[in-house]
Structure 1
Amino acid sequence: MIDNQLISIALFAGAFGLDLGIEEAGFYTVSVVEIDADATKTIVLNRPYLSESAVPRDIRQVSQ
C-alpha cells in the first residue's frame, strides 16, 4: 500500500486492458512489464505517469 491505496504491478500487460479493470477496483498501478513496444506506447499514451516503467522489456530480464 502507498498512502493507504492498494497498488499493482502490471505483468504481461498487453495494451493494459486487464489493468484498467484492476484500477476500477481501486488499485494504483506503479510499474509495467511488457515486451511489446507498441503495447508499451499505448500504455504511456493513456497513463503518462507510467512512462518511466512502461518500457519494452522481457520479464526474464527483470530482477526486482
Structure 2
Amino acid sequence: MYKYRFSIFTATYNRALMLDSLAEMINHQTFKGSFEWVIVNDGSTDNTVEVVNNIIDKSKIPIKFID
C-alpha cells in the first residue's frame, strides 16, 4: 500500500521566486491527513534547485523533488 493518501503535484519552470510562498501556504494548511508534496522541475535555468533544497530542509511535510 502507498505511504500517503494524498499528493500535491507542482510542476515548475523558472519559478524559483514563487516556490517559497507556495511552500508557506502548503505548510500552513489545516488538513492534517497523510500527504506529500511532489515538485517536478522541468529544466529550469534559474535557482530553482537551490530554492527547493532550502524548502525541503525547512518543511514540515515530506517533499519529493524530481529534477
TM-score by length of 2: 0.46
- Structure number with greater Rg is 2
TM-score by length of 1: 0.47
